[in-house]
Amino acid sequence: MDASYAVYIIRSGVLQVLLMAAPILGIGMGVGLVGGIFQATTSIQDQTLSFIPKIAAILFAVVLFGPWMIQTLLRFTESLFEQIPNMVG
């Protein structure tokens, strides 16, 4: 296996991780931003006011994007298994 091939595999793995984490992180960040703005405007400094909606939104995002994430991970894993003969030779 060539070093450039290893770099390609690692880069594609990192890209897959970023691609699968982006929707969940984006939704969590958006809910956190809205919650922070709401807390700043109302001067409510309760920690659960920002924590519980973020947990609920992230859980909803996992349920919503879960099938897509699993399919993407399965396709990537299948492509890695198909590339094993190229790695040894």
CA angle (10, 15, 18) in 5-degree steps: 130
Is pLDDT of 85 > 90? no
Token code pair at residue 55: 């947990």
Instruction: State the pTM of this model.
Output: 0.78
Residues 32 and 50 sit within 8 Å (Cβ to Cβ) = yes
Q: What distance in Å separates the CA atoms of residue 67 and residue 56, rounded to the nearest whole number? A: 18
Residues 39 and 49 sit within 8 Å (Cβ to Cβ) = yes
Q: What distance in Å separates the CA atoms of residue 11 and residue 40, rounded to the nearest whole number? A: 40
Token code pair at residue 51: 């924590």
pLDDT band per the 50, 70, 90 thresholds, residue 62: very high
